[in-house]
Amino acid sequence: MFSLKNKIAVITGGGSGIGKAISKLFAKQGATVHIIELNADAAQQTVDEIKADGGEAFAHTADISKQQQVLDVFQHIGSINILVNNAGIAHVGNLEGTAEADIDRIYNVNVKGAYNALYAAVPVMKGLGGGVILNMASIAAHIGITDRFAYSMSKGAIFAMSMSVARDYMGDNIRCNTISPARVHTPFVDGFIAKNYPGREDEIFDKLSKSQPIGRMGKPEEVAALALYLCSDEAGFITGCDYPIDGGFIKLNN
Ligand SMILES: NC(=O)c1ccc[n+]([C@@H]2O[C@H](COP(=O)([O-])OP(=O)(O)OC[C@H]3O[C@@H](n4cnc5c(N)ncnc54)[C@H](O)[C@@H]3O)[C@@H](O)[C@H]2O)c1
């Protein structure tokens, strides 16, 4: 079960955190993995780890917010069966704490970046007779989270664009779903704690851990396992769905 043998998977942001865990697991399950990353060294590190484990992977350096760069990489890759739109960036702030530059940056990476990869990948999938798309949303797409104005907006857009793609390309045998994690312990979380709460890192880490009723943050490998299921043939009946992976955050926080 859950074999990805003979599948070509493109994963954005595979140099770190959740994307790295997905890249490693997909390669382990037999996929040829292509990582699209801003951070060339990080992508190469993931590729090296995959190869050391006997898998096949390639690193491509690109900024997903730049359409021509994304189109060039996809043209270079050629065939694609699975796309995981995972790369994303954070911003902490309410409406008044969100400057024009902040909202543009978040939009360009989190929203337009996903659009760019979809725009490049869907025609190829259509030509191949189908494919699977998984877009990384967040619990912030579905509920109000304090001080996440721009980030929540971007993840709500990810959810909405996923439903649109799932609807429009069902007839082309393309499935499209989203995963909505609560806090997962990755450099993304450590980075925004360090940037936004200097000197209070331990206190905020503890607070964020306890905001999941289960009492801890998720692990990237736990998200990767769900991603594997949704991108495998075993999930062939699933499209247009969102899957929270949240330690009870949405339904049990009472
Ligand atoms: N960690 C969490 O708690 C959490 C929760 C919910 C959703 N998410 C989402 O999961 C995804 C992955 O998060 P993570 O925690 O693993 O993050 P991370 O920061 O550990 O990794 C993200 C990777 O994306 C890459 N990247 C950033 N901008 C890019 C760009 N313009 N072009 C190409 N690559 C770029 C970075 O270099 C990095 O390697 C993000 O979309 C994030 O919003 C994370």
Atom of ligand 1 nearest to the CA of 15: 39
Q: How confident is the model at residue 196 (pLDDT cuts 50, 70, 90)?
A: confident
Q: How confident is the model at residue 102 (pLDDT cuts 50, 70, 90)?
A: very high
Residue 107 is a catalytic residue:
no
Is CATH 3.40.50.720 correct for 8-182+219-244?
Answer: yes
**What global pTM score does this model have?**
0.97
pLDDT at 188: 84
pLDDT at 67 over 90: yes
pLDDT at 192: 82
Question: Is 34:81 a contact under the CB 8 Å cutoff?
Answer: no
pLDDT at 233: 98
Residues whose beta carbon lies within 6 Å of some atom of ligand 1: 12-13, 15-19, 37-39, 42, 63-65, 86-89, 109, 113, 136, 138, 181, 183-184, 186-189
pLDDT digits (tens, 9 = 90+) for 79-100: 999 999 999 999 999 999 999 9
pLDDT digits (tens, 9 = 90+) for 36-64: 999 999 999 999 999 999 999 999 999 99
Measured in Å, residue 189 CA sits from the centre of ligand 1 at 9
Measured in Å, residue 12 CA sits from the centre of ligand 1 at 9
pLDDT at 137: 98
**Backbone phi and psi for residue 234, each to the nearest 5 degrees, phi listed first:** -60, -25
Residue 104, C-beta contacts closer than 8 angstroms, at least 6 positions apart: none
Ligand 1 atom 1: residue of nearest CA: 184
Structure tokens at 24: 């490693």
Q: Point out the catalytic residue in the list 151, 197, 229, 243.
A: 151
Residue environment code for 44-61, b if the CB has 16+ CB neighbours within 10 A, otherwise e: bbbbeebeeeebebbbbb
Atom of ligand 1 nearest to the CA of 43: 39
Mean pLDDT along residues 110-132: 98
Q: How confident is the model at residue 254 (pLDDT cuts 50, 70, 90)?
A: confident
Mean pLDDT along residues 194-221: 95
Mean pLDDT along residues 186-192: 88
Which residues does residue 61 pair with via DSSP β-bridges, in sequence order? 37
Torsion of CA 76, 78, 83, 85, to 10 degrees: 20
pLDDT at 44: 98
